[in-house]
Amino acid sequence: MTLAVPPARCSTEQETVAAQAIPPVVGARLTVPLVTGERVQYANLDHAASAPCLEAVRDAVDELLPWYASVHRGAGFASQVSTRVYEQSRDVLRRFVGAASTDTVVFTRNTTDALNLLAGAVPRGTSVVLFDTEHHAALLPWRGPRVHRIATPRSPGDALVALDTALAKCAVGPRLVVLSGASNVTGEVWPVAALAEVARRHGARIALDAAQLGPHREIDIRALDVDYVALSGHKLYAPFGTGALIGRADWLSAAEPYLAGGGATKQVVDWGDHLGISWSKVPERHEAGSPNVVGVHAFAVACETITRNGWAAIETHERALRERLRAGLASIDGLAELSLFDGDRDRLGVVSFALEGHDPGLVAAILSAEYGIGVRDGAFCAHIATRRLLGVAGADGQRALRVSVGLGTTDEHVDRLIAGLRAIVAGEKAWNYVQQDGRWVPENDPRPLPPFVA
């Protein structure tokens, strides 16, 4: 397969040094089959959904597995090792987000799990304020008459005014503002510190959904002045089923356990007609069941590895890719990039767009089958935001395409995407495609699955 790609950008000495500091990921040399019979290096441009595993994380998991055992109550030496690993990981996560020593770290499955836990812990009568552009993990856990959703702002300044107005209308009582650090649709970074300042004037607490921000920018919850932060390991290069809720302990300490079961209980007594239950303190109070020791360790190692390699290197790497990507997309006829805010604002390496006259699902299928590229099509679990932005862009349908870069992305991946999109716009494709269960797929797809897949 021959691709017409833009000329390579000359790297500066600073960028070369930064690239050397980027921690390697598992699968960087993975090749995938094409419908044309060739194989190419896989271009993973879907980091915003799930990031690949760091090699350091894989190695750490391999090192831990022989020692894996039950935690907290096991007398065996392996249990003691696993318990130490599990509890030390709390300190790693606390440092990773700049939390205070008094802040609690509750391990969850992911950001969705963490924010649902927090939603169940807010005191009765709490007013919750959030923007309707939130990802579903931050949008859906909050229900009831005291939930106030703010319409999509057109600028960071509009967001500040809208939040101030919404908080002023809240009934007397506790208040919580839920914010995303960065949009998972457009990659635009929200003015968290400025919004937190507005919230503080109204006596509100702030919960930060850092699922997208965490893998790309350093987080300091004390500098941002937020009370809670939710993270996902699978977006932070540790895809082993662990997330975290980090922040103030008082609401969590007063709440009923998120799940009832072993670990959450200090003591259970049979009183005949009922059970007498004493719940554990936080964080164990909200971590019922056997903990995911491997996932927690993987998450902590990912955070340590990223911090040790330095945020400057990551930001330099992703900034160059983002600029290359956006410049290439801007050169394609009929392509409209989606943006929440007016003007060109600070953003991560996440770009969503509509391609006039082209079904996003079909475009994604062609990119996969003929170019070995993985992108996302749909509404990205942020249906309100995506559909509103598509309406503003004048696009048909309810779905868009999203490209997201990360530590495993190279210039060649971006160039291949741009070349593929140009070919698709020009009407070039090497295969026929049909819809199957609502998705576009190559007709009689000849690509062999790997041997371990049945």
DSSP 148-179: EEEPPPSSHHHHHHHHHHHHHTSPSS-EEEEE
433-436/439-442 β-pairing: antiparallel
Active site residues: 381
Question: What is the model's pTM?
Answer: 0.92
Those residues whose C-beta lies under 8 Å from the C-beta of residue 20, and which sit 6 or more positions away, are none
> Which residue is it, tokens 């953003």?
347
Residue 23 one-letter amino acid: P
- pLDDT value at residue 11: 46
- pLDDT value at residue 1: 40
Residue 296, token pair as written in the block: 């927690």
Residue 393: Cβ-neighbour burial (10 angstroms; 0-12, 13-18, 19+): middle
User: Which of 89, 90, 81, 24 shows the shortest CA–CA distance to 58?
Assistant: 24
Residue 120, token pair as written in the block: 């169940």
Query: pLDDT per residue over 186-227, tens digit each?
Result: 999 999 999 999 999 999 999 999 999 999 999 999 999 999
Residue 396: DSSP 8-state = S
Residue 275: Cβ-neighbour burial (10 angstroms; 0-12, 13-18, 19+): exposed
Asked if residues 10 and 324 have their Cβ atoms less than 8 Å apart, the reply is no
Residue 359: Cβ-neighbour burial (10 angstroms; 0-12, 13-18, 19+): middle
Whether the bond between 283 and the residue before it is cis, its omega within 30 degrees of 0, is yes
- The helix (H) or strand (E) run that includes residue 48 is none
Quote the CA–CA distance of 175 and 122 in Å, as a whole number.
9
- pLDDT value at residue 2: 39
Kindly report the length of the chain. 454
373-374/400-404 β-pairing: unpaired
Quote the CA–CA distance of 233 and 330 in Å, as a whole number.
32
Quote the CA–CA distance of 244 and 449 in Å, as a whole number.
34
Residue 256: DSSP 8-state = P
Quote the CA–CA distance of 161 and 142 in Å, as a whole number.
22
Q: Alpha carbon 157 to chain centroid distance?
A: 25
Spell out the domains of the chain, with CATH numbers in brackets: 13-53+310-442 (3.90.1150.10), 68-308 (3.40.640.10)
- pLDDT value at residue 10: 42
Kindly give the parts of the chain with pLDDT less than 70. Answer: 1-20, 393-394, 396
Those residues whose C-beta lies under 8 Å from the C-beta of residue 287, and which sit 6 or more positions away, are 106, 107, 263, 264
Residue 46: DSSP 8-state = B
